[in-house]
């Protein structure tokens, strides 16, 4: 039986990045991938935002050489009404031209990259191998080896056993390791299913039609993303796997493909569908427990995708890095017990990854109670039409900084230019209230005060004090402990 310091299950971005980090720490590391090549089984959006430059420059620097690469400066939102008419085309703010600097500033919105998983996954796996990790492809892990409740290795489909001090599970939403280790079973409503179709098209025509942008389609039906690559694009749309699921996955996309503006675009760039796939994508309020004795979960296996927009590759790589660093620390201490590996959860919660999940329930709620509700979607479209020169969607689609920071920056910006936003915010963004900083809550309330003839004459402080007395939610929001 072969023995390793770290066994990584899954050769996608999270697993490969964990293997790379572990090997760099001098640990004897092996990574198992069930496909003949990393990425062979994977397809996703997939766009990488600006923060990748801050956190993974060694990956970003290599992407422009890959065949599917398209540089992304902005997101264009296309909104259709109930009759499928295109009513609004809204670009989010552009980015600084070099696109290589992480920027939290509103003037330097989003910049990123579209890249196929077929290109990205092997690249990260190569970095792991270069760092000294062993990569075993065409190897399916089917079980874990347990000793007194602690995971001590894995078993493959051929019955081979591999011992490890620590197992890092990066085996996707269905995680065999998490299930076999008894950590969880079904997601029970927290996971989405994402049907996605890949269109081939004419490269030059696509350049002319989309430039450096990703597209999104919104309408009373739902929302769909259109990620533009060098000579192809993905159209995809997710929904939660819950008992109210009421249609075939592909029908969600068929609905978007009926939009005349979409069909015109396809005609223009000579697009033809050439591949279809459907994958699970956890979109949770909070990840469940991410560690147990001898094992840590990373990426989709842990349920890490962003609660605001379900972006997941950055989260996979970040959690992979933190898991491998924790493994090195635990192994050097000679303690890989559940208690020791609790350090993993402490570390990711204290990191940028933890910031992302600090307001998970509020982020998920805003989608859950609003945008996937056709009635609200109609109102939202009306709202967008009324304020079409502004860019409220940027609230949700700026990747330039960590998403919770972006949200606050954009809300603040909107308040500056559009006092009416406070009404909308009160009505529809209520679920987000605890993700909004106390300063912003204060501004929302004070702006509302100006519209009340009777209380206008009160001082701001007195007004807020009375309000906080009368309403506990206001009091909590103004004194939000989560912002400390």
Which residues in this chain contact another protein in the complex, by CB under 8 A?
A: 34-36, 39-43, 68, 116-119, 137-140, 142, 157, 173-174, 176, 185-187, 191, 193, 195, 197-198, 200, 229, 232, 234, 241, 243, 245-250, 253-254, 257, 260, 263-264, 266-267, 271, 273-280
DSSP summary character for residue 154: E
Smaller CB separation from another protein, 206 or 330: 206
Q: What is the DSSP letter of 104?
A: -
Q: Find, among 274, 194, 269, 268, the residue nearest to 237 by Cα.
A: 194
Give min distance, CB of 198 to another protein, in A: 5
* 314: preceding bond cis by omega (within 30 degrees): no
Task: Report the residue number, 86 or 342, with the smaller CB distance to another protein.
Answer: 86
Q: State which residue, 243 or 481, has the beta carbon closest to another protein.
A: 243
Residue 455: phi, psi to the nearest 5?
-100, -5
Query: Under a CB-based contact definition with an 8 Å cutoff, are residues 173 and 210 in contact?
Result: no
To another protein, the closest distance from the beta carbon of 279 in angstroms equals 5
User: Minimum distance from CB of 88 to another protein (Å)?
Assistant: 21
Measured CA to CA, the distance from residue 189 to residue 27 in angstroms comes to 37
At closest approach, how far in Å is the CB of 255 from another protein? 11
Q: Which is nearer to another protein, 156 or 476 (CB)?
A: 156
Give the whole-angstrom CA distance, residue 469 versus residue 463. Answer: 10
43 or 319, CB closer to another protein?
43
State in angstroms the smallest separation of the CB of 226 from another protein. 14
- At residue 157's C-alpha, the angle toward residues 154 and 161, to 5°, is 35
Q: Which is nearer to another protein, 144 or 394 (CB)?
A: 144
User: Which residues on adjacent β-strands are paired with residue 77?
Assistant: 90, 216
> CB atoms < 10 A from the CB of 318, how many?
24
What is the closest distance, in whole angstroms, from the C-beta atom of residue 439 to another protein in the complex? 40
CB nearer to another protein: pick between 152 and 196: 196
Query: Left (φ > 0), alpha (ψ -120 to 50) or beta: where does 300 sit?
Result: alpha
Please, what is the minimum distance in Å from the beta carbon of residue 138 to another protein? 4
- Looking at the Cβ atoms of 24 and 198, the one nearer to another protein is 198
Burial class (CB in 10 A: 0-12, 13-18, 19+), 83: exposed
User: Residue 294 and residue 183: Cα distance in Å, rounded?
Assistant: 12
> Closest distance between another protein and the C-beta of residue 426, in Å?
36
Whole-angstrom Cα distance, residue 56 to residue 316? 12
- Residues 99, 71 contacting (CB under 8 angstroms): yes
* β-bridge partners, 430: none
Q: DSSP letter at 334?
A: T
- Nearest-approach distance from CB 145 to another protein, in angstroms: 17
Task: Identify which of residues 227 and 381 has a Cβ nearer to another protein in the complex.
Answer: 227
Taking the C-alpha atoms of residue 385 and residue 79, their distance in angstroms, rounded to an integer, is: 9
């Amino acid at each position: 039986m072969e023995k390793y310091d770290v066994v990584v299950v899954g050769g996608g971005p999270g697993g490969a990045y964990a293997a790379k980090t572990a090997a760099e720490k001098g640990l004897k590391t092996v990574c198992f991938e069930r496909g003949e090549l990393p990425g062979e089984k994977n397809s996703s959006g997939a766009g990488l935002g600006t923060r990748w430059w801050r956190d993974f420059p060694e990956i970003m620097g290599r992407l422009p050489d890959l065949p599917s690469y398209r540089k992304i400066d902005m997101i264009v939102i296309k909104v259709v009404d109930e009759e499928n008419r295109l009513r609004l085309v809204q670009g989010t703010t552009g980015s600084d031209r070099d696109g290589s600097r992480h920027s939290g500033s509103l003037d330097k919105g989003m910049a990123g990259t579209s890249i196929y998983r077929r290109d990205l996954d092997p690249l990260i796996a190569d970095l792991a191998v270069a760092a000294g990790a062993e990569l075993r492809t065409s190897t399916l892990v089917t079980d874990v080896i347990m000793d007194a409740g602690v995971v001590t290795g894995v078993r493959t489909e051929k019955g081979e056993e591999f011992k490890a001090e620590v197992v890092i599970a990066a085996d996707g939403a269905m995680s065999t390791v998490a299930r076999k280790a008894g950590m969880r079973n079904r997601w029970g409503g927290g996971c989405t299913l994402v049907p996605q179709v890949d269109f081939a098209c004419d490269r030059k025509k696509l350049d002319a039609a989309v430039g450096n942008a990703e597209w999104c389609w919104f309408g009373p039906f739902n929302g769909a993303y259109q990620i533009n690559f060098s000579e192809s694009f993905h159209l995809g749309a997710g929904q939660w796997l819950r008992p109210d699921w009421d249609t075939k996955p592909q029908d969600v996309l068929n609905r978007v493909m009926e939009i005349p503006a979409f069909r015109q675009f396809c005609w223009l760039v000579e697009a033809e569908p050439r591949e279809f796939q459907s994958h699970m994508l956890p979109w949770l309020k909070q990840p469940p427990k991410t560690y147990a004795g001898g094992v840590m979960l990373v990426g989709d296996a842990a349920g890490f995708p962003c609660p605001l927009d379900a972006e997941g590759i950055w989260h996979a790589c970040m959690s992979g890095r933190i898991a491998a660093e924790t493994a090195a620390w635990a192994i050097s201490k000679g303690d890989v017990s559940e208690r020791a590996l609790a350090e993993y959860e402490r570390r990711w919660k204290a990191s940028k990854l933890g910031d992302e999940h600090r307001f998970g329930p509020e982020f998920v709620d805003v989608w859950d109670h609003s945008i996937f509700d056709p009635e609200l979607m109609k109102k939202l479209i009306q709202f967008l039409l009324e304020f079409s020169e502004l860019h409220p969607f940027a609230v949700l689609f700026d990747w330039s900084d960590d998403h919770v920071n972006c949200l606050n920056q954009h809300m603040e910006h909107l308040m500056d230019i559009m006092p009416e936003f406070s009404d909308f915010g009160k009505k529809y963004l209520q679920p987000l209230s605890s993700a909004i900083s106390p300063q912003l809550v204060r501004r929302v309330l004070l702006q509302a005060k100006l519209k009340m003839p009777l209380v206008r004459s009160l001082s701001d402080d007195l007004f807020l004090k009375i309000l906080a007395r009368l309403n506990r939610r206001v009091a909590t929001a103004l004194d939000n402990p989560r912002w400390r």
